Amino acid sequence: MSQNIYGRPYTVTARGPVLTPCAPHDVLARLGDKWTILIVSLLSLAPENRLRFSEIKNGITGISQRMLTLTLRNLERDGLLVRHYFPEVPPRVEYELSTMGKSMLPALEGFTNWIRSNWTAIEAARQNFDSREQDRD
C-alpha cells in the first residue's frame, strides 16, 4: 500500500516502510547545499529581487567566483531565477528571482525560523554527543 509522509511517497512492506525515490530528492539536494539559500535570501532583499553577479558575490561572505557561477547556473536550470544579459560594453548580467523562486520564500522563512528556534538545542546536542564520543575513546 503506497502512502505519503511530508509529501514523499513510501510503501509499507513486511520488512517496514520503504521510501520511494522521486525527482524531489534532486531539488532537496539543491536547496540544502551551502550557497543556495544564501543566494535566494540575498536576491529577496534586492530591489525587484534582482542583482548583478558582483553584488551577489559581495553580499555573501566566503563564496568563490566558481561556486557562485555554478550555483547561479543550477538555480537558473531549476527555474528559480532568471538570468538577464545586456549586450553592452562591458556586458552586464543581472540575476532575478523567478515567480517560482519568489514562491519559495515563505517556505524558506519557515525553515530558517525553525533553525533559529532550535539552534541552541542543536548546539547542546552536538556538544553532548561529542563529549560522549570522547569518553568512548
Specify the pLDDT at position 126. 96
Q: 57 and 67 in contact (C-beta within 8 Å)? A: no
Give the pTM. Answer: 0.76
Q: How far apart are CA 30 and CA 99, in angstroms?
A: 18
Q: Higher pLDDT residue, 103 or 3?
A: 103
Phi-psi region at 12: left, alpha or beta (left = phi > 0; alpha = psi -120 to 50)? beta
Specify the pLDDT at position 83. 97
Collapse the DSSP code of 87 into the 3-class scheme (helix H, G, I; strand E, B; otherwise coil) and give the result.
Answer: coil
CATH architecture of 23-102: Orthogonal Bundle (1.10)
Q: Which residue type does 58 have?
A: N
Q: How far apart are CA 134 and CA 51, in angstroms?
A: 46
Specify the pLDDT at position 11. 86
Phi-psi region at 7: left, alpha or beta (left = phi > 0; alpha = psi -120 to 50)? left
Q: 6 and 19 in contact (C-beta within 8 Å)? A: no
pLDDT tens sequence across 82-130: 999 999 998 899 999 999 999 999 988 998 899 999 999 999 999 999 9
Strand boundaries in the chain, DSSP class E: 2-5, 8-13, 16-19, 50-52, 81-86, 92-97
The bridge status of strand 50-52 relative to strand 2-5 is unpaired
Specify the pLDDT at position 24. 67
pLDDT tens sequence across 17-64: 888 776 666 777 777 888 999 999 999 999 888 999 999 999 999 999
Q: How far apart are CA 75 and CA 52, in angstroms?
A: 15
